[in-house]
Amino acid sequence: MPRLNDRHPKYRRHRHSGQAIVTLDGKDHYLGPHGSQTSIREYDRLIAERLAHGRRLPVGDSTAPALTVNHVILKFFEHAESYYRRADGTPTSEVDNYRQLLRVLRQLYGHTPAADFGPCALKAVREHMIGQNWCRRSINKQVHRLCAVFKWAAAEEMLPASIYAQLKTVAPLKRGRCAARETPRKGTVPEEMITAIQPHVSEQVWDMIQLQRLSGPRPGELVFLRPLDLKPVDEELWVHEPAQHKTAWREHTRTIRFGPKAIAILMKYVSNRPVDAYLFSPTDAEEVRRAKVHQARKTPPELGNNIGTNRKHNPRRRPRDHYDVGSYRRAIQRACDQAFPPPPELARHEVPAKHGHGTRPETKAAWMTRLGPDGWAKLKEWWRAHRWSPHRLRKNAGTEIRKHSGVEMAKTILGQRSIAVTELYAERDERKAEEIIRRIG
């Protein structure tokens, strides 16, 4: 009985062209420049296809290997990483959205020929998302992105355009007519929920909250604000035209206007600060916190530790010179957890510390094990009801502007191009409708 050869066909260099080459089933396949990452990935893909089809490449109308979904994913993600970038070169959140989608697509249909991916396969991917408890709106957005992947492949002449046309025939999920989880649309943040967190946030975070309520900027437009970005028009109006914003890639301009109340807040940070330094800095917030702790110290200065002697010389994490959207959001969420603590049976417990000295919070893994799936789901429901994100403050600003000046002015101040989008941000004044009905109804 002949011995089974487990070795793969050799990756080698073509002497005359300098290309990497592998011979499979008697046919030479050129992979790209020898030693490059592209050629190595192409070699791995061909070997994986060969193993998946019983040590033989699939053969269709021609002897060329079938293009798999994995190959489309690889090529598209290389395009996405270079395309979805801001003006300063940093990637946008769309890269992470595609990464999450393509991970699911690779797990389910990675080795499937891309030409065989049709509406039924798309629905199977969608059902997998429903099984992962994704909400309906997120699923519809990800399905739209999946269709965009095959549209790009058709534009690159990797696949026929008919595949994209077939995928577009799949209708999006409708509310009440599918098994996907529904999430309530987030409206304005109630006033009592905003004021409740003031004792639990730094002065910098609280001032950013007030600026969003007064002027309606996006969190990403506010955290990178510097003195040189502010242009005084007169004593009661300052403007800021950010170079980076949500629709900059569409060549839209964005103007943020600050009135007298907002100017009074900004003046605290503009004076005695370099013009290129960020206004809102976690480093400044930490210095203020340490000063308050020092003022509240009860131990006499000649006793105990001297000021600053108990700090780590090389801490693993240092406060940065500016907030970003994530750190701003997390600061608000931590304050919400302190202002609205969950019930004791759902809260994080204190457990004995190591070596029996004091206590420490239980680890997240121990917390989740103690609550179990049902208890953890209840805790998430509590968080959804008692946490809010800074992006919702734009709705507070839009609603207030619409109440005084109408939806068209709210659209202009919020920097939106469509009245339909502003309708989602600026809630209608139902009280005016009730007053009119009382008069004429």
Contact between 239 and 263 (Cβ < 8 Å): no
Pairing between β-strand 256-258 and β-strand 19-24 as defined by DSSP bridges: unpaired
**Residue 193, CA atoms < 13 Å, CB-side half-sphere:** 21
The 3-state DSSP class for residue 241 equals: coil
Which residues, at least 6 apart from 236, have a Cβ–Cβ distance to it below 8 Å?
259, 260, 263
Beta partners for residue 13, in sequence order: 20
pTM for the structure as a whole? 0.72
Helices (H) and strands (E) in the chain, counts: 17, 8
Contact 115, 67 (CB under 8 A): yes
Q: Name the percent of the chain in helix, strand, coil, to the closest 5.
A: 50, 10, 40
Token duo for residue 348:
């994080």
Match 């793969």 to its residue by tokens. 8
Owner of token pair 């170079």: 243
Sheet holding 27-33, edge to edge: 12-13, 19-24, 27-33
pLDDT at 57: 60
3-state secondary structure 20-39: EEEEECCEEEEEEECCCHHH
| Amino acid of residue 137 | R
* Residue whose tokens read 């020929």: 113
- Predicted pLDDT of residue 18: 81
For residue 104, the one-letter residue type is V
Alpha-carbon torsion 302, 305, 307, 309, what sign?
positive
Beta bridge partners of 361: 350
| CA gap 326, 98 in Å, rounded | 19
Give the CB-side neighbour count of residue 144, counting CA atoms within 13 A.
Answer: 10
Q: Is 77 helix (H, G, I), strand (E, B) or coil?
A: helix
- Cα separation of 137 and 180, whole Å? 9
The two structure tokens encoding residue 64 = 């060329």
- 8 Å CB contact between 320 and 283: yes
Integer Cα distance of 351 and 362 in angstroms: 6
pLDDT tens for the chain, residues 1 to 441:
445 556 788 888 888 778 888 888 777 888 888 888 888 888 888 888 777 666 666 544 344 457 889 999 999 999 999 999 887 788 888 999 999 999 999 999 998 899 989 999 999 999 999 999 899 999 999 999 999 999 999 998 889 999 999 999 999 999 989 999 998 888 889 999 999 999 999 999 999 999 999 988 989 889 999 999 999 998 889 998 888 877 777 778 888 889 999 999 999 998 888 899 999 999 888 888 888 888 888 888 777 777 667 777 777 888 888 898 999 999 999 999 999 999 999 999 988 887 767 888 899 999 999 999 999 999 999 998 999 999 999 888 888 888 877 777 777 777 776 766 666 566 665 666 556 556 666
Strand partners, 181: 135
Instruction: Round the CA-based radius of gyration of the chain to a whole number and report it.
Output: 29
Pick from 341, 424, 345: nearest CA to 385? 341
> CA nearest 322: which of 417, 427, 227, 230?
227
Collapsed DSSP state (helix, strand, coil) of residue 434: helix
CA dihedral for 104, 110, 112, 114, sign (positive or negative): positive
Cβ atoms of residues 39 and 32 within 8 Å? yes
